[in-house]
Amino acid sequence: MRLNVDGLLVYFPYDYIYPEQFSYMLELKKGLDAKGHLVLEMPSGTGKTISLLSLIVSYMLERPLEITKLVYCSRTVPEIEKVLEELAKLNRFIEKQTGQKTKLVGLAVSSRKNLCIHPEVSQEREGKVVDSRCYGLTAGYVRARAARADTAAGDGDGADPVPTCQFFEQLEESGRDATLQAGIYSLDDLKHYGRERGWCPYFVARRAIQQANIIVYSYHYLLDPKIAEVVSKEIVQSSVVVFDEAHNIDNVCIDSMSVHINKRMLERCSNNISAMEKRIANLKETDAARLQDEYQRMVDGLRDAQMKRENNQLLANPVLPDQILQEAVPGNIRTAEHFLNFMKRLVEYLKMRLRVQHVVQESPAGFLKDIFNKICVDRKPLRFCAERLTSMIRTLELTDMADLSPLVLVSHFATLVSTYTKGFTIIVEPSDDKTPNVYNPILYFRCLDSSLAIKPVFERYQSVVITSGTLSPLDMYPKILDFHPVIITSFTMTLARPCILPMIVTKGNDQVTISSKFESREDPAVIRNYGNLLVDMVTAVPDGVVCFFTSYMYMESVVSSWYDQGIITQLQKHKLLFIETQDAAETSLALLNYIQACENGRGAVLLSVARGKVSEGVDFDHHLGRCVLMFGIPYMYTQSRILKARLEYLRDTFQIRENDFLTFDAVRHASQCVGRAMRGKTDYGIMVFADKRFQRSDKRTKLPLWIQEHLKDSMCNLSTEEAVQISKRWLRRMAQPFSRQDQLGISLLTLQQLQSEEMQNKMRERVTHRI
Amino acid sequence: MTTTEDILLQVNNVRHKKSDGTLFLMSERIGWLMGSKDTFSVSYKYADIKMQKISPDGKAKIQLQVVLHDGGASTFHFNSPDGEPAQRADRDKVKELLQTLLPKFKRKVNKELEEKERLLRENPSLLQLYQDLVITRIATADEFWAQHASEFLNKTNVKQDVGVSGAFLADIKPQTDGCNGLKYNLNVDTINSIYKTYPAVRRKFFEYVPGRMSESEFWTRFFQSHYFHRDRINLSSKDLFTDCARQDEKVIQQELQEELDDPMLDLRRMTDSTVGDGYGSDSSAVGVGQTNTATVSMIRRFNQHSINVLKASLTPEGAAAAAATPAKPQQNGQSNGEASSAAPPAERDPAAKRARLEERTCYEDLEAAPPSAGQPLSLTKVERYLSGPTPDLAQLGSEPPSASAARRLRENVLHWRPFTNKVLDPQTAVSVLGDLSPGGALMKTSHKDRNASADLPDHVKTELAAIYRSAGELLRHFWACFPVSTPALEEKVAKMEDTLHKFHQLKIQNFEDTVCRQAGLGPEVTAHLNQMLSAAYAKYESWRSLRRSLQR
C-alpha cells in the first residue's frame, strides 16, 4: 500500500501493516529529516527491515538530493541475503505501483569467498585462502608479469605463462566502464551476472559501490579500518547508514582494532623476514632499479600511485583514515634492507617481551617508552610500519599473502600501538585463560573504546541508524559508542493475544534456589533442578525446545551430570536431543537434523550456548522453538584481565559502573537468546529465565520493553511445577486457530484503519511513550 | 464353518436367552452354540463389539454382556454345575481373553470410523449423498463406501511406519540377577530399533551369528562394548564393535564434508569476512576453561544417536535395503568414494534458495489473502490429456495462429462473394426466424423451462439440486457398468437398477408429492430427472432381454 508518513509518500509492499511499523517509520522519518543519528529498538519479527527499507527508499525517491545512498550493514550472510530479498520485493512493488522501471541499483557486497566464480579458487573453503589466491591472480604486477610472459611466448622464448584470472581479465578488458543496469542484485544474481558476461562478480560489486543507491554488506566493511579504507572510502557523505541487529556493535568495533600475538606467530615472522631478505638480495642482483625506484618514492613521500588501483589494495592501513600521516616515510626505514632490519629488531623485541612468567599490563605509552629504551626504536617509524610493508610487498611482487600474514600482523600492531595512546591496553599473559598450566605467552593489544572505530562513521555520514530487537537499556549505546542521537525509542509489540510468555523460574520443585552464580553452579541439586525443569517443559511443550547455557564449559559439565542422573534418558523419551558443539560444522549438522526432527513432528530439544554461533545467527521461528530456556545469566568471564581493563576504562571515561555494564551485557545476550523464538505475530513461544537473579530489578528492567511488558509480577518467582502448569494452560490457548480477523484492528491494520483518526492518535501516543 | 478358525477358548454350560449352550472364543469372533445345534446361533466379530460388561460380585447370576457398536447386546449366563467359584472362574477366563482381544480390533474399527466421519465432514456433497443413500436405506453403508466413496478412502490408505524411540537404548533396564551379573531384557522391538538406528550392528550380526557365536553372546558383547556406552574415547582393538564405531565416525565425517543444503543454517558460511588470525579477540569470549574430551565425545554421541534415530524413521525403505545386502557396502564403497570425490560439489540450487529466502522474509499476515485456489486438475489418464488433438504441424509457422487467422479472415472477407443460389428465400427465412425466437414454435419448451427454474422457490431449488447430485452419482455408477462384461458387473448393474428404483420411489416421488405439491408446482420440475431415470430403466430392460435371448 502507499502510505503517507508525515507528508512523505512511502511505498510499503504489503496490504496490511503493523501499527508499530508505522510508528517506526514515523520516527525514522523525523530522524532523517533532522539529519541526525537514531537508536531504535523494535522486537524482532515485526518487520523492522521492510519498514526501514520502505521508508528510506521512498525518501530517496522523493528527495534524491537529500539522501543519495543507503548503506545497510547486517551481521551474517543469511541476514544480508534476506535484506536483499526484501529489497527486491519492495522494488517490484514500486515498479508495479508507478508503472515504470525504477532507477535504483541495489547490491550486496561480500567477501571473495562468497562471490568468486573462478573454477579453482572458488572451491576453497577458507576466506583467507580465497583472498590470497585471488590476489595472486589479479595483483597489478602479476598481471604485468603475465603480459610480459605473453609477449615473450609470442616471441618464441617459451617462457611459462603466468596464470591470471580470466574473469578479472575480461572485466578489465571490456567492463571497465560498464555500469550495472538498474535492479537489485543479490549475491547469486551477481554471480549469475558475472558468469553471463565472464566478469568477476567480486570486482563488479566493488566497482558498483560508487554507483549503487543501496549497498548491503557486513559490519566489517564499514567498521574495520583495514577493510573500510579499501571498500567504503568513496561512499558519499549524504548517505544513510543502517546497522541492523546492532546489539553487538561495540564488540565488532573493538575486535576490528585489537591484535594478539603469540610465540608461534613471531617465529613465523622471523621466517618471513629471512625469506624476504633472500628475495631482496636476489632482486638486487637482477633488478636493482626497482628497489631504487621504490626508495625514491619513499623520499618523495608520495603514496604509491598504484594504490589507486583497488585490486592492489589487499592490505590497507589498520588505523582510521584521519590518523594516517601525510608525511614522507622516515629515513631509517626507506631502503628495503633497513626496513627489514628494523622489523627484525621489532620481532626480537616482542619475543623478549613474551618471555614473561607473570602478567604484565601497560599502556601504549609505556610500551613505546620501553621499546625506545630497549632497542632505540622511535615512535615515528613504527607508525609507518604497515604502509612501508605494503609497499615492499608490492615491490618484491610477493603474492602469497596468507603466508605473510604474521609479518603483516606485527606491522599493523606497530602502527596501531604508536598511533593510539588512549583507549588501548597491552596485556602480556604467560598462559591462556583456558589452559592455565600450559606456558603459552600471548601479547594482547586490546582496544577498550568501542567508539574509536565507529567514530568516523558517525562523523562522516548524515544519518546513522542503530537498530535491533534487543538494545535495552537504550541509553547505554550512545554512551559506549560516544555519539548523540536525535531520537532514541523503543517500540513494543501490539498483540492481539499474549503470544509471548516470559517467566522467571527461581526454584525447583524441592524449593532449592536455581542460579548459575559461581558458588552454586556446580551444585548437583541445582543441576538436577535445571534438568527437571527441562524434562518437565519438554513433556509439556510440543515440537522444538531450545535451551541456552552460559558457556560451553558449563554446558558440558551439566550434560555429563545429567547423563549420570538419568535426565538425558528422560529427555530422549520425549524428544530427540541435539547439542551445540564448538565445531561449527558439527553444529550445523546437528541444527539441520534438529529442524528436520521438528518438521516431521518428532520434536527435538537443542542445547546451545549464549554468545555461541547458534544464538547469534539462527532463528527458531514457530514450531522450531516453542519454548526457550535460559539457564543462568550469561555473564562474561569476569576474571579476564582484558575485561577488567575495559571495565576500568569505561568507568573512567564514560562513567559507566562495572556492574551496570556487566549486567547490561549479560541481559542483552540473554534476551537475544530468548528472542530467537519470536519471529512474528502469528508465532508464539515460552521464554523461561531460569535463574533467581533475574527477578532482581536491576536485571529485569534491563530486558527489552517488549518482554518486560508481558513479564507480570506474578510470573517472577515461580517453581518448576508452577511454570509448567502455566505453560500448559497458555499453550492450550495459543494452539487455537488464529486468523487475520482476530488481529485486524489491533495488531494489524488496513490502510483505512491506519488513516482513521483514532488510530493516528494512538500512534502518536505510542511514539511519545519514550524511555 | 467352525473348523476353519482357531478356537481359543471353549466354555461349556453357558446360557443365552434361557437356553443352554457352549461359548466359543475364536481368533476373530465370539460365538455361542446352542446345545443341540451345530451352527452358531450367536456370533459376533470382535470388531463389532464395543465393550464387555460383567455382573457385580455380589449378584447371584454370574453374567457377561457384550455390547455392540450398533447398540445391540447379548448376555451370557455362566452356570457351570460345579458351583459359583467355577462359574466365576469360567467367566473370568472369558473376560480376560476378551480384554486382550478386544483392543486389537477396537483400534482398527475406531480408526476407520473416525476416518469416514472425517471424510463426510470435509466433503459436504459426499455427506449429502450419504444421507440420501444410506440413511434412507437405499444402499447399505458398506456399499456406499465401497462404491461411491472409494476414491476418497483410497487416498488415505498409506501405512505409516512406527518410528524409533529416542530413548530405546535407555529403556532396556538392566536388572541385577543377584550374583554380580546384569540381565538385559531384549525384545524384538528393541532389537529392531537397534538395527534401524545402527545398520552397522545389523551387518555385524549377520556376519557373526550364528556362524561364530550365538545370538545371546552377540548381544552380551554388544552391551559390554563401549559402543553401547556413549563416552567411548579409547577403542580397544579386540572389541567386536570397534569398526562399527569407526564406520559411524566415517559417515559423520562424510556428512560434514557435504555442503548443507540449507544456506540459512550453515554456521560456517555465516560470517562474511574473517578478521584473520591475530586480530580481534580469540574465542575466549565464548567459553573459558578446559573442556573435557570425554564429555565432548559424549556430546557427539548424543548428536549422532539422535541423527541416526531420525534417519531411521525418515527412510524405512533405505534402512531395509541396507539390511538386505549386508555384505555389499564394503565392496562398492570404494568405487562410490572415488566417484563422489572426483565430482565437484554441485552448485546449490539458486531457485530453491530463493524460495527459502522468500519464505523467510515474507510476513504472511501482512499479505493480502491469496485468491482462492481453483479446483486442482486431477486426471485419471494423463497421456490422454497431454496428447489431445494434435495441432497441425504444417500450420505451426513462425507467426502466432491468431495472427495468421486474422490475416486469413481479412483475405477471405476481401474475396467474399455471397452464394446467392444457396440462401433461403425471404419468406422461409422469416418463418424460421419466428420459430426460433422466444415463444416461437421451436422455442416453446426451452423457454418455459427456463421460466420454471427461475420461478422455483429457494428451498425447492436446493432440494432439487441435492436430488440431482445423488441421482447423478447413482446414474453414473449405473452407466459405468456398461458394457457388462463380467459377472461382477452383471451383479452390480442389477443392484444399481434396484437402487435407482428405490431412489425413484423414496426420493423423487416423495419430492414430487410433498415439496412440489406444496409449492404448487407441476410435474415439469422433475420431468428431466424422470427422463434420465426412464432412459436408464429402458437401457436395463433392453440389456436384460438381450441377455435372456442370448442365454436361451
Select from B273, B298, B365 the Cβ nearest to the Cβ of A748. Answer: B365
Nearest-CA neighbor of A255 among A65, A450, A90, A76?
A450
**Distance (Å, rounded) from C-alpha A49 to C-alpha A67?**
18
Q: Which residue has the cell 556376519?
A: B207
Quick one: DSSP state of residue A349? H
Select from A14, A563, A618 the Cβ nearest to the Cβ of B265. Answer: A618
Name every chain B residue with its beta carbon within 8 A of the beta carbon of A579. 299, 302-303
**Which pLDDT belongs to residue A310?**
45
Q: What angle do CA A720, A721, A725 make, to 5 degrees?
A: 120
Strand partners, A629: A547, A688
- More confident site: B260 or B325: B260
Task: Quote the minimal CA–CA distance from A82 to chain B in Å.
Answer: 6
From the CB of residue B60, how many other CB atoms can be counted at a distance below 10 Å?
A: 7
User: What is the secondary structure of A422-438 as a DSSP string?
Assistant: SSEEEEEESS-SS-TTS
Over residues A78-82, mean pLDDT:
90
Asked if B256 is an interface residue toward chain A (Cβ–Cβ < 8 A), one would say yes
Name the grid cell of B179. Answer: 550374583
Over residues A167-192, mean pLDDT:
86
**Distance (Å, rounded) from C-alpha A609 to C-alpha A614?**
7
- Among A258-267, A495-504, A511-520, B45-54, the minimum mean pLDDT is found in B45-54
Three-class DSSP labels, B285-305: HCCCCCCCHHHHHHHHHHHHH
Q: Does residue A270 register a pLDDT over 90?
A: yes
**Which pLDDT belongs to residue B333?**
33
Using the CB atoms, write b or e for A192-218: b if 16+ within 10 Å: ebbeebebbbbbbbbbbbeebbbbbbb
Cβ contact (<8 Å) for A559 and B295?
Answer: yes
Strand partners, A628: A546, A687
Cβ contact (<8 Å) for A227 and B273?
Answer: yes
**Which pLDDT belongs to residue B317?**
46
Q: Does residue B153 register a pLDDT over 90?
A: no
Over residues B427-443, mean pLDDT:
81
Task: Quote the minimal CA–CA distance from A585 to chain B in Å.
Answer: 6
Share of chain A above pLDDT 70, in %: 95
**Which pLDDT belongs to residue B80?**
82
**Distance (Å, rounded) from C-alpha A354 to C-alpha A135?**
33
Do the beta carbons of residue A577 and residue A547 sit within 8 Å? no
Task: Quote the minimal CA–CA distance from A680 to chain B in Å.
Answer: 8
Q: Does residue A505 register a pLDDT over 90?
A: yes
To the nearest 10 degrees (0 to 180), the angle between helices A77-98 and B350-361 is 80
Over residues A182-203, mean pLDDT:
90
Helix (H, G, I), strand (E, B) or coil at A546: strand
Over residues B260-266, mean pLDDT:
69
Over residues A558-574, mean pLDDT:
90
Name every chain B residue with its beta carbon within 8 A of the beta carbon of A602. 163, 310, 313
Q: Does residue A462 register a pLDDT over 80?
A: yes
One-letter amino acid at A586 equals E
Name every chain A residue with its beta carbon within 8 A of the beta carbon of B293. none
**Distance (Å, rounded) from C-alpha B198 to C-alpha B184?**
19
Over residues A330-341, mean pLDDT:
87
**Which pLDDT belongs to residue A524?**
92
Touching B: A residues 388-447, CB under 8 Å: 405-406, 409, 432-435, 446
Residue A56 φ/ψ, nearest 5 degrees: -70, -40
Do the beta carbons of residue A353 and residue A443 sit within 8 Å? yes
Q: pLDDT tier at B284 (50, 70, 90 boundaries)?
A: very low
Helix-then-strand count for chain A, H and E: 33, 21
Do the beta carbons of residue A754 and residue A570 sit within 8 Å? no
**Which pLDDT belongs to residue B107?**
64
Do the beta carbons of residue B23 and residue B63 sit within 8 Å? no
Do the beta carbons of residue A690 and residue A628 sit within 8 Å? no
Over residues B387-409, mean pLDDT:
66
Q: Does residue A89 register a pLDDT over 80?
A: yes
User: What is the secondary structure of B197-226 as a DSSP string?
Assistant: H-HHHHHHHHHHTTTTS-HHHHHHHHHHST
Q: How far is CA B384 from CA B8, B387, B480, in A?
A: 55, 5, 19
Do the beta carbons of residue A432 and residue A359 sit within 8 Å? no
Cβ contact (<8 Å) for B313 and A552?
Answer: no
Cβ contact (<8 Å) for B260 and A604?
Answer: no
Asked if A590 is an interface residue toward chain B (Cβ–Cβ < 8 A), one would say yes
Helical residues (DSSP H) of A198-248, grouped into ranges:
201-208, 220-223, 225-231
**Which pLDDT belongs to residue A50?**
93
- More confident site: B330 or A73: A73
Q: What is the pLDDT of residues A135-153, one digit of tens each?
A: 888 887 888 888 888 887 7
Q: What is the pLDDT of residues B464-517, one digit of tens each?
A: 888 888 888 888 888 888 787 888 888 888 888 888 888 888 888 888 887 777
- Among A103-107, A154-158, A714-718, the minimum mean pLDDT is found in A154-158
Q: Does residue A607 register a pLDDT over 90?
A: yes
Mutation site for B-interface testing, chosen from A589, A595, A683, A684 by largest number of B Cβ within 10 Å: A589
Strand partners, A71: A215, A241
**Which pLDDT belongs to residue B344?**
37
Touching A: B residues 355-384, CB under 8 Å: 357-358, 360-369
Do the beta carbons of residue A692 and residue A514 sit within 8 Å? yes
Helix (H, G, I), strand (E, B) or coil at B159: coil
Cβ contact (<8 Å) for A556 and B299?
Answer: yes
Quick one: DSSP state of residue A337? H
**Distance (Å, rounded) from C-alpha A443 to C-alpha A420?**
17
Name the grid cell of A198. Answer: 565472464
- Among A410-424, A527-541, B448-462, B505-519, the minimum mean pLDDT is found in B448-462
Cβ contact (<8 Å) for B303 and A85?
Answer: no
Average of per-residue pLDDT values in chain A: 87
Nearest-CA neighbor of A241 among A66, A464, A55, A69?
A464
Do the beta carbons of residue A505 and residue A718 sit within 8 Å? yes
Q: What is the pLDDT of residues A622-658, one digit of tens each?
A: 889 999 999 999 998 888 888 999 999 999 999 999 9
Select from A409, A552, A584 the Cβ nearest to the Cβ of B267. Answer: A584
Residue A487 φ/ψ, nearest 5 degrees: -135, 130
One-letter amino acid at B357 equals L
Asked if A25 is an interface residue toward chain B (Cβ–Cβ < 8 A), one would say no
Nearest-CA neighbor of B40 among B80, B10, B64, B78?
B10
Over residues A483-511, mean pLDDT:
91
Select from A77, A89, A255 the Cβ nearest to the Cβ of B270. Answer: A77
Q: In which order are the strands placed within the sheet that holds A627-631? A: A576-579, A604-609, A544-549, A627-631, A685-690, A500-507, A718-719
Name every chain B residue with its beta carbon within 8 A of the beta carbon of A81. 263, 357
Handedness of CA A76, A82, A87, A88 (dihedral sign): positive
**Torsion of Cα atoms, A57 then A63 then A69 then A74, to 10°:** -30
Burial of A182 (0-12, 13-18, 19+ CB in 10 A): middle
Residue B105 φ/ψ, nearest 5 degrees: -85, -30
- Among A200-204, A711-715, B169-173, B305-309, the minimum mean pLDDT is found in B169-173
Give the list of residues 6+ apart from residue B371 with CB closer than 8 angstroms, or none: none
Q: Which of A320-334, A565-579, B202-216 has the highest mean pLDDT?
A: A565-579
> What is the C-alpha end-to-end distance of chain B, expressed in Å?
37
**Distance (Å, rounded) from C-alpha A753 to C-alpha A758?**
9
| Total number of residues shown for chain B | 552
Asked if A109 is an interface residue toward chain B (Cβ–Cβ < 8 A), one would say no
Residue A670 φ/ψ, nearest 5 degrees: -60, -45
Q: What angle do CA B206, B328, B212 make, to 5 degrees?
A: 25
Q: Does residue A606 register a pLDDT over 90?
A: yes
Using the CB atoms, write b or e for B317-353: b if 16+ within 10 Å: eebeebeeebeeeeeeeeeeeeeeeeeeeeeeeeeeb
From the CB of residue A422, how many other CB atoms can be counted at a distance below 10 Å?
A: 12
Task: Search chain A and give the residue with CA nearest B272.
Answer: A77
From the CB of residue A620, how many other CB atoms can be counted at a distance below 10 Å?
A: 29
Asked if A304 is an interface residue toward chain B (Cβ–Cβ < 8 A), one would say no
Asked if B458 is an interface residue toward chain A (Cβ–Cβ < 8 A), one would say no
Q: Does residue B349 register a pLDDT over 80?
A: no
Strand partners, A318: none
